[in-house]
Amino acid sequence: MLKFVNIQSRLPLLAISIILILSACKASSDSLTPTIAPPTQPSAPPTATAVPAAATVNGEIISLDEFNAELLRFQEAQNALGKTVSVEEAEGRVLNDLTDQVLFAQAARKAGYTLEDTEVKARLNALAAEIGGAESLSTWLANHGYTEASFHQALKRAIEAAWMRDNILTTFPSTAEQVHVRQILLYNQETADEVQSRLAAGVDFLDLAAAYDPKTNGELGWFPRGYLLEPKIEEVAFSLGIGQPSEIISTDIGFHIIMVFERDSSHPLSPDALLALQEKALLDWLQEEREASKIENK
């Protein structure tokens, strides 16, 4: 999975069922008639029963029931997509996902976010119209292994977590230091050595890039730090001067010789680059939270 949680994509499913909870509460309160009970002998308070836990996050329990229900939903979703995931992998992904949600939600509360009933009701009103009413919602809950209580808890946590995620990303810049790079990609050391020698002899880099890649002319485009899948190329790119060919860079893909054509300390991020850096920012945030938190898997 994703080590962070695409909480926004979960909300349409999670946010449906408070309709039932609210309507059930209203029905119960409307049907009650106040009565005066005869005096009774005081009884001892019931003994608290520990909730079986799959994990605790800073003392907050992820119950075993919640974990098992979420695990089943995850496995059913994977089966529907035709994907095979081992039980061990599924358990790890689900527990990590739930832990990440708790960390986001805890941070939201710590930052002062308070979930108001009006916000929940607004979400529910919009979703109720989409799902077709309480009866459809009841069927959906049953089909997906939710009770009213468990769904209420999941929804509340999801909204809090989404708020914190968005709060982290709100201040994320839309520009960054970037370089505009082209490459000559070769697939054996001998050819790479030959190309490097030709460059040293004064052959134009763009001519060679076009010769070895007529389709793109070796264009890698603009990119910031932390974007490329090959960190070696990125590291060299940000160390090069403009118009200076690199040494041969060996990767799993092949042998690269790159050249930086432009550099900008504040270049607009492409949608793909922005998304990748946002994802990295969330992963970094979660890693820091995990290191600073007390997380116990049972």
Tell me what pLDDT residue 28 has.
31
Confidence of residue 136 (pLDDT cuts 50, 70, 90): confident
The SS3 call for residue 180 is strand
The tens digit of pLDDT for each residue in 224-267 reads 999 999 999 999 999 999 999 999 999 999 999 999 999 999 99
> What are the residues facing 259 on neighbouring strands?
182, 245
Tell me what pLDDT residue 50 has.
73
**Among 45-54, 180-189, 197-206, which stretch is predicted with the lowest mean pLDDT?**
45-54
User: What is the b/e burial string over 173-183, where b = at least 16 CB atoms within 10 angstroms of the residue's CB?
Assistant: eeebebbbbbb
User: Mind spelling out the 3-state secondary structure of 28-57?
Assistant: HHHHCCCCCCCCCCCCCCCCCCCCCEEEEE
Better-predicted residue by pLDDT, 47 or 76: 76
The tens digit of pLDDT for each residue in 81-108 reads 999 999 999 999 999 999 999 999 999 9
Query: Any idea which residue has 């505009």 for tokens?
Result: 180
The tens digit of pLDDT for each residue in 118-135 reads 786 677 667 767 888 877
Is the whole model's pTM more than 0.75, yes or no? no
Per-residue pLDDT at 48 exceeds 60: no
Q: Calculate mean pLDDT across residues 196-213.
A: 97
Average model confidence (pLDDT) across the chain: 83
User: Helix, strand, coil: what percent of the chain each, to 5?
Assistant: 55, 15, 30
* Structural domains present in the chain: 7-29+50-170 (1.10.4030.10), 176-268 (3.10.50.40)
Per-residue pLDDT at 1 exceeds 90: no
Q: Calculate mean pLDDT across residues 12-41.
A: 33
Q: Calculate mean pLDDT across residues 191-214.
A: 97
Q: Calculate mean pLDDT across residues 73-84.
A: 93
